[in-house]
Structure 1
Amino acid sequence: MGDEFWQYRAAHAGDEARAIDWRRSARADVQFVREKEWQAAQSVHLWLDDARSMEFTGDPKRQAKADRARLLALSLAVLLIRAGERVGLADGIAPPRSGEVQLLRLSEAFTRPAGEADYGEPQARAMLTGSRAVFLSDFLGDPAGVEGALAQAADKGVTGVLMQVLDPVEEAFPFDGRTIFESMGGTLTHETRKAGDLRDRYRARLEERKERLRHLARTAGWLFTTHHTGEPAQGALLWLYAALRKGG
């Protein structure tokens, strides 16, 4: 592994002009960047779910899922870049780079306003062949989106981690009596007079979702784990860092 040319990829917003192969680009309608093998091997792509469901917290004194995911993503980027890795976003908005300026770019990207959708769907179109990735989400939406992203990753030889970020309330389902459940975006509503009767079924379906995510990750050569916002972030951060370094 070294400085040998490895592959072309379509240029993304944020790529420097000097990185573009103008001769190759002249033969097509898009611009191309020359990638070297070491660049892909030392690249990590992050996808941070910005859907409305991530704004949930079961306790005003506890971080919302989105805030915890941002903390983990940015802290992980700091550790990786200081270790000599190149970090970027899986959607191509910020291609993998090193340095303090890249940390500022990532910080700005992570603080963008929440999206309009209730649930997020991983974006994997810009991941480099042979790189690594981390997807941070509650993964409570349609799992078909996760399946599609992991299929793209597997085709490119990308390995990584799915980290499901959940609030403790979403695990315990501590509701009883008359309860109105509403999605964070307000598009889904369900009212029940006996919320406690739903507890066992809810927990069973959540466990089924975790098992499906675990299976999808295993099939793609990825790892799956769940982190709760009621737990310290440090343990999850160190686990992520160790998992990526081992995979690299």
Structure 2
Amino acid sequence: MSDGVDRHSESRVVQLRHQGEAAAATLPALMAEATRIAATVAQGVHGRRRAGVGESFWQYRHHRPEDGRAAVDWRQSARSDQLFVRQNEWEAANTVWLWRDGSPSMRFSSSKDHASKIDRAAVCQIAMAALLTQGGERVAVLGESAIARTGALGLERTSRRLALGPGDMTAVEAPNIGRFGRVVLASDFLDPPETWAARLSRFSTMEAEGVLMRIVDPAEEDFPYSGRTRFENPGGGEGLLFGRAEEARSTYRQRWAEHGEALAALARQFGWSVVTHRTDLPATSAVLALYRALARDA
């Protein structure tokens, strides 16, 4: 019995090692592409005014129970019947939390000429990490980084986690970040909008804002299929079989557009932005749009 268990354990270790080596083999290519994109987009990242521990006054806000008595600015509070807290400009580097969805649907690619959604998301997020660390800001991977870092060390650790990490959904369902964090979530966002509403509401309680980077394979938007076509469920569930797929094209495209509109409305509701990117287009355009959206929301 023990020999069987040992052989099974050894076989499992070998299997995991091979899987890890195969995954790691993609890292240099992803890093090279991301570095090239970051160099193309780089315009310099300027400090953003955020609440923090700096000495320059920024604003007053209403006192919250969790702030405690010591945080009250009594001079300002004496001028009204409400309690206020004095907030100062954050002179330290801002922290941006990045996340790349690792769901099975993200591994889809309709053509060998297009990157998979998961690889394109990783490339864009790594390029963003490069731009942010060049500007002196701290970056971390949501759900996978305990400490946000800047500089070469921050970029190296963040890049590896974005390329090889699991991208677990629990990271967005129970985010562990501080107040006023900036967040970039890269996913295909195929879950129902109400599911994402519940997730974004958790960020809202932390006064975090950011950008939703919606990664789309061209076939998902165009639905170019015709004739007898079977669609497999990437999660392993029951698929769909169409006798004449082209007959469903109009309805599908309408539903797809409605889903995108619902996601955009949801983002606006929480003060976020949406950047939609098709994998048949250059990644540079997506990173530039991400950078601009993050700067605009700051």
Among 79, 93, 108, the residue aligned to 2:160: 108
Number of residue-to-residue matches in the alignment: 216
Say if 2:217 and 2:280, in contact at 8 Å, map to a contact too: yes
CA 95–39 in structure 1, closer or farther in 2 if over 3 Å, else same: farther
Equivalent pair of 1:50/1:120 in contact (CA under 8 Å): no
Cα distance in 1 for residues equivalent to 2:220 and 2:229: 15
- Correspondent of 2:111 among 46, 59, 76: 59
Match of 1:111, SS state, is helix
1:159 counterpart = 2:209? yes
What is the distance in 2 between the residues matched to 1:126 and 1:218?
23
RMSD over equivalenced CA pairs, Å:
2.5
Q: How high is the sequence identity, in percent, across the aligned residues?
A: 37
Residue 83 of structure 1, CA deviation: 0.6
Hey, which of these two has a bigger chunk of helix by percent? Answer: 2
8 Å CA contact 2:193–2:266 kept in 1: the answer is no
The two structures have a TM-score, normalised by structure 1, of 0.79
- Aligned pairs for 1:17-36 within 5 A: none
Q: 1:79 aligns with which of 131, 138, 141?
A: 131
Contact 2:180 2:206 in 1 (8 A): yes
Q: 1:228 aligned to 275, 278, 282, which one?
A: 278
Higher Cα Rg, which structure: 2
The equivalences for 1:69-148 within 5 A come to 69-91=121-143, 93-112=145-164, 122-123=172-173, 125-148=175-198
Query: 2: CA distance between counterparts of 1:123 and 1:135?
Result: 12
Gaps of 5+ in 2: 1-50, 56-87
Q: Which amino acid aligns with 2:246?
A: G
Deviations 1:76-128 (A, max 9, x none): 0000111111111222534322121111211221233657x9x9983451122
Asked if residue 191 in structure 1 is aligned to residue 228 in structure 2, the reply is no
- Distance in structure 2 (CA, Å) of the matches to 1:106 and 1:99: 11
Show the 5 A alignment for 1:7-46.
38=90, 42-46=94-98
Q: How far apart are the structure 2 equivalents of 1:221 and 1:124? A: 19
Quote the offset at 1:229 in angstroms.
0.3
Cα contact 1:121–1:146 (8 A) shared by 2: no
